[in-house]
Amino acid sequence: MGKPTGFLEYQRENSYEIPPRERVKNFQEFYIPLPKEKQRLQGARCMACGVPFCQAGKMIGGMASGCPLNNLVPEWNDLVYRGSWEEAYLRLAKTNCFPEFTSRVCPALCEAACTCNLDSQPVATKANERAIIENAFEQGFVRPNPPKVRTGKKVAVVGSGPSGLAAAMQLNKRGHLVTVYERNDRVGGLLRYGIPNMKLDKKVIDRRLELMEAEGITFVTKADIGENVKAEQLLEEYDAVLLACGASNPRDIQAPGRDAKGIYFAVDFLKATTKSLLDSNFQDKKGISVKGKHVIVIGGGDTGNDCVGTSIRLGAASVTQLEMMPKLPDTRGENNPWPQWPRICKTDYGQQEAIAVFGADPRIYTTTVTEFIKNKKGELTKVKLVKLESQKEEKTGRTRMVPVEGTEKVVRADLVLIAAGFLGAQKYVTDAFKVELTPRTCVATQPGRYATNIPKVFAAGDMHRGQSLVVWAIREGREAAREIDEYLMGYTNL
């Protein structure tokens, strides 16, 4: 611990954010890092606690507390303070395959569990992580390191999201020959097409992929397993297959008028936007048109927020976000103590931008759509909304949200984006490999394991655990790689 009194001497200072009205003019990242000297002082704020909850990754109160990757947070915070940037990178890379991704898109479970939360503000760990990895790239600390010895074993990874890429990196490091199959035209999965550019610039992904290719990993795009590539082919050619295809079944909203033109799943909207941006900087006009339209986003969470921010950048006339659940409190309740994840209301970047551009928070709580109203051409023109209230079922004790009679109202809507979450793995993939599923349509394995019911077939990431965070996907990819390595070699040193 380099500065025992650092948390008393220095205030939390985070990356500078470009103001909302300025940043909505483009799709560029809008966080500007602190100068190195100031970042060092943020490292000094780390208390090096006797029990570092920041790196625990344990379930407390039904939610994760601390980093699921068990990042060695106090160690590299201390190294940042000391100015030992290369050593800080080496400690960070020991547990995290892709700090450049998590430092941009992770909700910072480490900071929520920081002991400084008890009477101050948490250490700016996420910003420190980003400073470490970006400095490492700038200084050339991150460079190709192909394995010196190959095992002769071949592994196919189906899906190139964070879980598949993490598994591929670990298995390749061990000396196995790894081929990653991606059904889209570009590698990256959720990172590429599910997260907008202003949160994760795709150049950051490409930079990492170049390193992975230089280390010997092969990437195959436009390879849709179960469609234009047969599962049997992979099972015949490879010694092990990892399914890491994500939770790709979007949850629908079944209401009268659902067939109206102008209703899209959020994932399709975000993908079309990013693809048009990458292909032609929107010149091809192949994205979903939003300009001048009144947009309704159904669903909260990260995806709903991304739809709000993207719609504003594309010139929406208004954006309204519907959330079924009540608004969370602004401060922790007595039943939600530290170091539990704080169940409080957070205003994310998209909502901040809506407030700046339209003058009001876009969120309407305890509300859902009961009907989509269309004109004679079949085009969406309005939606009927209804308020909801919580009701406990006597038999199960579960709480569900039910409509309140007499609260219906009709509002204008030219475009609806459904961001209601995902149900699990896509059936055509799981059918192709004949793997068993859980009741939630995720690929079934033994608890804490990744092997499926089919020999030499494994599963990881959202396809295995259900819709979750990038950091959890990376953890699952790393753990699955360890299990695959043990299966192939009889032991593992991953």
The parts of the chain modelled with pLDDT lower than 50 are none
**How many CB atoms neighbour CB 48 within 10 A?**
17
Q: Which residues pair with 32 in a beta bridge?
A: 16
Q: What is the pLDDT of residue 2?
A: 65
pLDDT for res 13? 96
Asked if residues 246 and 190 have their Cβ atoms less than 8 Å apart, the reply is: yes
Q: Decide if 202 contacts 195 (C-beta within 8 A).
A: no
Q: Is 366 helix (H, G, I), strand (E, B) or coil?
A: coil
Same fold, 6-139 and 154-248+423-489: no
How many other β-carbons are positioned within 10 Å of the β-carbon of residue 410?
12
CATH number of the domain located at residue range(s) 263-418 in this protein: 3.50.50.60
6-139 carries CATH number 1.10.1060.10 = yes
pLDDT at 396: 81
pLDDT at 248: 85
In this prediction, residue 3 carries a pLDDT of 85
Q: What is the pTM of this model?
A: 0.96
Phi-psi domain of 406 (left: phi exceeds 0; alpha: psi -120 through 50; beta: other): left
The residues near 406 (Cβ < 8 Å, ≥ 6 apart) are none
Asked if the peptide bond before residue 326 counts as cis, ω within 30 degrees of 0, the response is: no
**Fold that domain 154-248+423-489 belongs to in CATH:** FAD/NAD(P)-binding domain (3.50.50)
**pLDDT confidence of residue 225:** 94
- Per-residue pLDDT of 220-278, as tens digits, reads 999 999 999 999 999 999 999 999 999 988 999 999 999 999 999 999 999 999 999 99
Any residues with CB less than 8 A from the CB of 203 and at least 6 apart, and which? none
Which residue in 144, 134, 183 sits closest to 161, CA to CA? 183
Task: Note the pLDDT of residue 17.
Answer: 95
Q: Which pLDDT belongs to residue 1?
A: 63
Cα angle 449, 453, 456 (rounded to 5 degrees) comes to 80
With helix as H, strand as E and coil as C, how does 54-90 read?
HHCCEEECCEEECCCCCCCHHHHHHHHHHCCHHHHHH
Dihedral pair phi/psi, residue 187, rounded to 5°: -80, 145
Q: Domain coordinates of the chain in residue numbers?
A: 6-139, 154-248+423-489, 263-418
